[in-house]
Structure 1
Amino acid sequence: MLPSGILISALFFLCSITGTDSVNIVTLGSIEIFSAHEWFPSKPTVYFHCRGEENKTVLPDVKKTHVLYNFKGEESWQPLTELPDQKCKRCGFYEKDKFKSDDVFDEWELCAADFVDGKYLRFKENEFNATFICPLCNAAADSEKEQGQITSTKRSKRNVALIVIICALASLIVMAGMVAAYKYWQKRKREQDQARFLKLFDEGDDIEDELSLDPVF
C-alpha cells in the first residue's frame, strides 16, 4: 500500500487539475425539425456532432418533422458534449445521407457564455428549433460580472468618500483664508487708526506752537 501522504498529494493534484480544466455538460432539452433533406424521407436520421470529437450523438427519437421532442437529459445518448469555460466548439445538427455526404441543418460556435440561466436556444429558419441545457455554463462569467459589480460599487463609494474629503479640505482652506483675511484687515485697520491718531496729535502740537505767547519777564 502507498503511504497516506502520497495518496493525499495525488488527490490534491487530481483536484487541482479538475479545477483548472473544468468543463460544462450540455444536454438537449428539446428539438423540432422543420424539414428533412433526404429525397425519400421515410425516417430521417438526425445527429449532433462537434468538430474534434469522434462520437456523433444520434437522436433516435427524432423521426418526424414539425413535432416538438422534449427530453429529460437522462436519455442513454445524453449528454451531447462538454464545454470548457473559456473556449467554444464548432457544433451542429446533421442528417445522414445514404447516397452523398451528410446534410447540414446548421453549424455554429457553441460557447458556455451563450447560456442564460442554464439554457441556450438555437433557431435556424426552415431547419430546426432546439433548446440546450447546461446548468453550470456561464457560471464563471456570472461570477466575474458579480465581482465586477462589487468592484464598481466599492470604487463608487471610494470616489464619494474622496469627494467628501476634498470638499471638507476645501472648506477648511476657505475658512482659514477668510480668518487670515479678517485678521489682516483688523491689523491694517489698527495701523490706519494709529496713524490717524498720531497725525492728529502732531497737528495739535503745531497749533499749540502757533498759539503760544512769548514769556513775560
Structure 2
Amino acid sequence: MARASSLSSMQPWVLVVLSAFLQLIPGLADDSSSSNSGTKAPSHSSSSSTRVVVLGLCLGMLALVGFAFVLFKIWQKKRREEQHARLLKLFEEDDDLEVELGIRD
C-alpha cells in the first residue's frame, strides 16, 4: 500500500526519466510500426547493442549512486560516534584532577 502512494507522490520529471529508461529495455518498447510494414525488418543489432550499452550505463550510475549513499551513511555514523565520545568525555567526572588539586583524597 505504501509503495503505490510513494509512486504517485513522485515528481513528474522522475516518472518521465523512468519511463524513458524503461523504453530502452529490449522487448518493452512498442515496435508496431516495424511489424506493420510488409517488408522484412532489417537486423536491429546496432539498436539492440545501443540499448544494452545505455542500460549498462544506467545500471552503472545506479550502482555508483548506491555506493556513494552507503559511504555517506558510514561517514555519518562514524562522525556521530566521534561526537558522542567527545560529549561523554566532556561530562565525565575527572577524579584525577580533583586528587591532584587536593580537593579529594
Structure 2 residue runs of 5 or longer lacking an equivalent are 1-38
- Per the TM alignment, residue 151 of structure 1 is displaced from its structure 2 partner at its CA by 0.8
Q: Measured at CA, do residues 136 and 201 of structure 1 come closer, stay the same or move farther in structure 2, by a change above 3 Å?
A: closer
Aligned residues: 68
The answer to whether structure 1 residue 173 and structure 2 residue 67 are counterparts is: no
Runs of 4+ in 1 over 3 A off after TM superposition: none
Residue from 182, 186, 189 that aligns with 2:91:
186
Per the alignment, in what secondary structure is the counterpart of residue 150 of structure 1?
helix
Query: 2:61 matched to 1:156?
Result: yes
Deviation at 1:194, TM superposition (A): 6.0
TM-score, structure 1 length as denominator? 0.27
- Alpha-carbon distance in structure 2 between the residues aligned to 1:195 and 1:142: 79
> Who is 1:136 aligned against?
42
Amino acid at match of 1:156: M
Question: What is the TM-score of this pair, normalised by structure 2?
Answer: 0.52
- Structure 1, unmatched stretches of 5+, are 1-132, 203-217
Name the structure with the higher strand share.
1
Percentage of pairs with the same residue? 9
Partner deviation per Cα, 1:10-39 (whole Å, 9 max, x = no partner): xxxxxxxxxxxxxxxxxxxxxxxxxxxxxx
Deviations 1:36-87 (A, max 9, x none): xxxxxxxxxxxxxxxxxxxxxxxxxxxxxxxxxxxxxxxxxxxxxxxxxxxx
Provide the C-alpha distance between the structure 2 equivalents of 1:201 and 1:165, rounded to a whole number of angstroms: 49
| Distance apart, 1:180 and its partner CA | 1.3
RMSD: 3.0
User: Residues of 2 paired with 1:177 and 1:159: CA distance?
Assistant: 27
| Greater share of helix | 2
